[in-house]
Amino acid sequence: MKEPTPAEIENETPSNIFIPPSVIPSSLLSGRSYTHFSPVPPSLLASAEKSVPVCLGVDEAGRGPVLGPMVYGIFYLPLPLSDPLLRQTHHFDDSKVLTPQVRSSLMQTLSTAGSDLHQSCGWATTLLSAGDISAGMMRPSNAGGSYNLNAQAMDATVQLIQGIYDRGVNIQEIYVDTIGQPAAYQKKLERIFPTAKITVAKKADSLYPCVSAASVCAKVTRDAALEVLWKTRGRPPAREEEKDKNEEDTDMEWGSGYPSDQRCVTWLRGNMHPVFGWGPECRFSWGTAKDMLEGPKGVKVDWPVDDDGDTHRLTDFFSAKDQEEGDELGTWFGTPAGLEAF
């Protein structure tokens, strides 16, 4: 995974941004993954009298950080409006080249009833929690083996697109910012959604307006989720003399959540429980977290294998070793009682 540059890290650390309806604090703080769907504009329903063909874009935010969720976003609107509304009127672009304030403003407009974006467009996000990402990546072999990040991302993408189909939207074209090789990813999606024209490409978030808008939905949702987590989990308790200050002006001291961000590493070191590590904000499967837990400040924990009491093989009863140590079958029903028992 490509680490962000210092300039990009600053762009990844917004504060006091718009909290979209896709950020649900109760689910976020529980450590569960969840999905949010916006209302579908009536004109986009396949059953509508004047149903129009719809294009849909997919992108993600937060693939590399050790802190916070990874968010997959989709955005859909009538094909004829894609360039005029998104590019020319609202100037959507790859979320990484937009400032946090611009991203936040676009998301707020999209979420405001009566705006042109709200009336013509729909969107949805799946928030993959840090806990679920880690649990999947560290899943033991007897439970199916590792559920890697690419597989988790692919499943989230398919479920989001299927959710829009299930809501009756007439999707004609799908554009996806790739994970891995574009050709292989595109073939997988074409097998699942054979009725749509599918394009999977690198840098799709800067090539196709609907993917640019999806990247904004995903990025603002992640930024807002990280801020909610910070205010609830990461921020240290205010000292008595600071209680009267405006806490809203306090920047997130854990920074962007990327391992290359020294603020993130410093926060992790200073807030690690020696046994339990951190809370639902941390991806324990990331090397940064594992190294700290296995370091001198962590407590080594041995998890014994469950013993169901039946550890013998049939051949054990007939081995010479067992015969030397005593006849185990001979004591199956107990040992003879001597006269002293009476």
DSSP 178: -
Among the listed residues 212, 199, 207, 151, the one whose alpha carbon sits nearest the alpha carbon of residue 171: 199
Q: In the chain, how many H helices and how many E strands? A: 12, 6
d(CA 232, CA 252): 11
Q: How far apart are the first and last CA of the chain?
A: 77
322 is known to lie in a ligand binding site = no
d(CA 293, CA 272): 8
Look at the alpha carbons of 235, 239, 244, 245 in this order and tell me if their dihedral is positive or negative: negative
Listing from the earlier edge strand, what are the strands of the sheet with 34-37?
34-37, 122-128, 70-78, 54-61, 171-177, 197-201
DSSP, collapsed to helix, strand or coil, labels residue 78 as strand
User: Residue 79 contacts by C-beta under 8 Å, 6 or more apart in sequence?
Assistant: 52, 53, 54, 55, 172, 173
d(CA 184, CA 200): 9
d(CA 86, CA 98): 14
d(CA 241, CA 31): 33
Burial class (CB in 10 A: 0-12, 13-18, 19+), 14: buried
The CA–CA distances, whole Å, from 225 to 62, 170, 230 equal 11, 31, 9
60 is known to lie in a ligand binding site = yes
Q: What angle do CA 110, 44, 219 make, to 5 degrees?
A: 30
Task: Show binding-site residues for a divalent metal cation.
Answer: 59-60, 177
**Which residues are annotated binding-site positions?**
59-60, 177
